Copies of this chain bind each other. A is one copy, B any other.
């Protein structure tokens, strides 16, 4: 259960410490909106709806998958699920591996019991693809949460920095292809802070994945968190060295979008408010994933979780009305890059 101890530590570190890229640079800082002083719109005209993998959501926002640990996981997931349902947006769960190994933990992840209509994205790591029974694991993960999609996260940097981390990253692409062919559930590939390069995206496109979460640099830095929770001064130093590693979220998004004009894309990593959601949409994201701020809110309470989402949604609407954008699609007409 080492993995689990580790996850529980993560929650506290993420709540209390500065776990983000030290400069917070996501690339979105270089995107500005040009306001429209006379938008000729009313708030009621704003259309924030977005389709993703065949489902229509009220907002282009994803509560990204986060492990809440075994102690607090159930309650965190409940709070996030209720908020997601209230806003009719999709939600990812954290890595289900612990519950594959220990089925008694499965209920932690089963958020549809609170929110039956929620669009839920299951979650496994690439490490599970390396098991012999990987197809079975994927199917069990989907079933465990009645997943509408399954995210497979890749986090090479984090694993590489960890003493006890995975050391073998071979053979993933082929198995990914098999998973995509064998499961009817759409598969999402999900970076968690290093971003997806155009090069990587090209290889992923050939596997038949349904969507990419570019998971870029600028927000929560998992390489750095490994240092914060480590008692080894070597690991701490290594983590410090790689704290700001990765492609900034906005750059990764733009690069992958250029390559795959039609592919459903999620932009996660350092998004902290509705204005940045609007920027990510303007740059081509279908959904915008938000992690840390919602985790922190969920640790405080149900209402706090909802309030945090409310503020983000209001920010998105303010950006839309103040640029005269009736729909999400209009936003890209109003950006300028610096």
A residues with CB within 8 A of B: 33-45, 126, 154, 156-157, 160-161, 167-173, 189, 191, 194-197, 199-200, 203-204, 233-234, 237-238, 241-242, 245-247, 273-275, 307, 310-311, 314-315, 317-318, 321-322
Contacts and interface: CB of A to CB of B under 8 A. Distances in A.
A173 B161 CA distance: 47
A40 B204 CA distance: 12
16 contacts: A34-B197, A35-B197, A37-B156, A38-B126, A38-B156, A38-B169, A40-B169, A40-B172, A42-B169, A44-B168, A156-B322, A169-B321, A234-B310, A234-B314, A241-B275, A242-B322
Contact of A274 (B40, B126, B233, B241): B241
A231 to B, nearest CB: 14
A157 B237 contact: no
Given A43-B167, A194-B322, A37 B234 contact: no
Copies in the complex: 4
A36 B197 contact: yes
Nearest to A167: B43
A38 B172 contact: yes
Contact of A170 (B41, B171, B246, B311): B41
A59 to B, nearest CB: 15
A35 B195 contact: yes
B42 A170 contact: yes
A62 to B, nearest CB: 19
B273 A37 contact: no
Contacts of A247: 34-35
A152 B191 CA distance: 48
A193 B38 CA distance: 13
Nearest to A42: B168
A318 B43 contact: no
Contacts of A242: 275, 315, 318, 322
Given A168-B43, A238-B311, A238-B315, A173 B35 contact: no
Nearest to A314: B238
Given A37-B154, A41-B169, A42-B170, 13 more contacts: A34-B199, A34-B247, A35-B195, A35-B245, A35-B247, A37-B191, A38-B156, A38-B203, A42-B169, A160-B322, A238-B273, A238-B311, A241-B274
Nearest to A165: B43
A241 B172 contact: no
A197 B34 CA distance: 7
B199 A39 contact: no
Contacts of A40: 169-173
Contacts of A35: 156-157, 194-195, 197, 200, 245-247
Nearest to A33: B245
Nearest to A201: B37
Nearest to A195: B35
A233 B35 CA distance: 25
Nearest to A160: B318
Given A245-B35, A246-B35, A234 B311 contact: yes
A311 B239 CA distance: 10
